[in-house]
Structure 1
Amino acid sequence: MVGERIKELRKRKGYSISELAKHAGVSKSYLSYIERDVQKNPSLQFLSKIAKTLDTNIEYLLGQEIEEELDEEWIALIKKAIDDGVDKSEFQKYLDFIKFKKWEERDRSL
């Protein structure tokens, strides 16, 4: 699934595998393995680089689009993180890590 989504987005952008690998700073052979589903567990770092280069997010690559509204508890947690000095970049890395771990757990159960 991840490989299919990467390949689809890559083609929409008009990139060859070589071009995407170069722009994302990843190995061409590893990218090919992911797209062909030879390698099924890409690293979080790899997914992050690919998502950024393809103007998408890790959720989309992992097939986890979320459509939930924020309730007061979520808003309070986010405000607390900001008050504690967590910047957007750090928060995004934390979210990416959590999404990756959930995806990894789901993949193991299949």
Structure 2
Amino acid sequence: MIGERVRKYRQSKGMSLTELAERAGVAKSYLSALERNIQQNPSIQFLEKVAVELNITVDHLIKDDVAEIQSSLDSDWEDLVKEAMQSGVSKEEFKNFLEFNKWKLNNDD
């Protein structure tokens, strides 16, 4: 559920409910109702405001699989991927690099 994911990300960032609501410019009561699964159909605008403050994408709040992938990445891997993205490495270049390394490992025998 979206509310459970909002709570998980909020708590992982060490934010209180009040702090997230104030920073995102949303009603604390609505955010609380969402986290308790009383409110279940938040607007995309609401989710965008919350996601920005949590430094995640709206997809992380909507989809289970994205949240699971994100939580399985340790911070070193996350930092490495961000560094590659910021340095201008494309997805295709990164994939090619990984494929080359796989090939090299298999052929170093």
CA distance in 2, matches of 1:10, 1:46: 15
Q: 1:1-110 maps to which residues of 2 (within 5 A)?
A: 1-63=1-63, 65=66
Say which one has the larger Rg. Answer: 2
Which string of whole-angstrom CA distances, capped at 9 and with x for unpartnered residues, describes residues 64-86 of structure 1?
A: 63xxxxxxxxxxxxxxxxxxxxx
Local SS of the residue matching 1:60: helix
1:24 partner letter: A
CA distance in 2, matches of 1:47, 1:30: 12
Higher helix share: 2
TM-score calculated relative to the size of structure 1: 0.57
CA distance in 2, matches of 1:13, 1:42: 21
Runs of 4+ deviating beyond 4 Å: none
Instruction: State the structure with bigger RCO (CA 8 A, min sep 6), 1 or 2.
Output: 1
RMSD across aligned positions (CA): 1.5
Q: In the TM superposition, what is the alpha-carbon distance from 1:59 to its structure 2 partner?
A: 0.7
TM-score calculated relative to the size of structure 2: 0.58
Q: In the TM superposition, what is the alpha-carbon distance from 1:53 to its structure 2 partner?
A: 0.4
Local SS of the residue matching 2:29: helix
Q: In the TM superposition, what is the alpha-carbon distance from 1:63 to its structure 2 partner?
A: 1.0
Which string of whole-angstrom CA distances, capped at 9 and with x for unpartnered residues, describes residues 3-42 of structure 1?
A: 0110001111111100000011000000001000000000
Structure 1 gap segments, 5+ residues each: 66-110
1:56 partner letter: I
